[in-house]
Amino acid sequence: MNKQRLLLPIVLLGCIAALLGGLSLFWFLTSNAWNFFQSFGISALWQTEWYPYEDLYGFLPAILGTLWALCIAMLVAIPCGLAAAIVSSELLPNTWQSIARLSMEILAGIPSVVYGLIGLWVLLPFLQEHLNLLTGHSLLAAGLILSLMILPTIMLMAQDALDSVSQEQREAALNLGLDWNQLLIRILLPQAWPGIRSGLLLALGRGLGETMAVMLVVGSLDRIPQPFYNILEPAQTLTSRIGREMGEAAFGSMHFAALITCGLVLAVFATIISLSAQRKGSIA
């Protein structure tokens, strides 16, 4: 009884703190973005020129860059992560399974600046040499580094989901004469799908918000690639722009408001992603 009395206020307090944190963040983002949109209008979102000193704030190059980098990352990381999870959960003996898990957990724990430096010193020279690029700084490099960073999330979540499918189901399926392919595609993946999906969502979120590693390899050039699907050119992402310019933007200035608006655009993206996933059913 005594313990309960102590616990309840603590829980409530924590809940209120979380709520206040979320609300103040929302207020901060929207009030700054409101200032920005009042001066420049919503059309800034699809204008292409970003020159803060000339009061030109066009978001399109960075929005496009963010989406491209994320697409490349997901295209690489989803097949690799799922395959790794399937092999690790279904085919490997227990000891190897835990080694695979451990190595993924280590991968997940490495700070993002280290990934950025790996990109800078290993990936960029490689791309420069083999694809005959100017410096290697490109959307492709950003996407590849991102894919490495979100791989552990996808793989670990998918493996957990596969492991949680009960052993009886596997045995029943095999007894019915299903071969391994059918077992995987008809039984295991559908059963594990809610878990896999929340792994994908977490990975998307991390990819969307990743700043440091992307900033080091993307080239930070505020220009739409020519043609727009040319992922071998340097470009800019929303996060990299915030990272590069936030320090110089005086608090309260229009430049500052524009950068906060970049943050709001990211937040809106993240919300859209999680809403679109929730509509199809609850997240495991």
Partner 1 sequence: MFKSIFVCGLLLLTSSPLYATERIDIVGSTTVLPVVSQAATLYHQQHPNITITVSGGGSGVGIASIIQGTAQIGMASRNTTEEEQAKLNGKVDNIIIAADAVAVAVSKAVYESGIHALSVEQIADIYRGKVRNWKDVGGLDARIVVIDKEASRGTRHVFAKAILGNKHARAAGASIISGSNNEEQAIISHSNAAIGMLSNAWLNNKVRGIDVIVKGTRISPTIDHVRDNTYPLARGLHILLPKHASPAAKNFVQFLLSEQGQSIVKQVGYLPIE
Which residues of the shown chain bind partner 1 in the complex (CB under 8 A)? 51-54, 120, 124-125, 128, 134-135, 137, 219-222, 234, 244-245, 247-251
User: Which residues lie closer than 8 Å to 281 by C-beta, 6 or more apart?
Assistant: 194
* Nearest residue (CB) to partner 1, 26 versus 51: 51
For 144, residues 6+ apart whose C-beta sits below 8 A from its C-beta are 72, 73, 76, 119, 123
The residue among 57 and 269 lying less far from partner 1, judged by its C-beta, is: 57
For partner 1, the closer of residues 124 and 161 by Cβ is: 124
Nearest distance in Å: CB 230, partner 1: 13
**Smallest distance, partner 1 to C-beta of residue 145, A:** 16
Q: Are 154 and 251 in contact (CB under 8 A)?
A: no
Compute the least distance from the CB of residue 68 to partner 1, in Å: 17
Q: Is the alpha carbon torsion for 10, 16, 19, 24 positive or negative?
A: negative
Measured torsion, CA atoms of residues 208, 214, 219, 221, in degrees rounded to the nearest 10: 20
Number of helices (H), then strands (E), belonging to the chain: the values are 12, 2
Minimum CB separation of residue 239 from partner 1 in Å reads 15
**Distance in Å, CB of 111 to partner 1, minimum:** 18
Identity of the residue, 125 or 190, whose beta carbon is nearer to partner 1 in the bound complex: 125
Is 81 or 116 the residue whose CB approaches partner 1 more closely? 116
Residue among 70, 188, 206 at smallest CA distance from 150? 206
Q: Which is nearer to partner 1, 105 or 248 (CB)?
A: 248
DSSP sequence for 248-265 = TSPTTSHHHHHHHHHHHH
Place of tokens 């999870």: 85
Least gap, CB of 55 to partner 1 (angstroms): 11
Picking from 62, 55, 52, 57, the residue whose alpha carbon sits closest to that of residue 224 is: 62
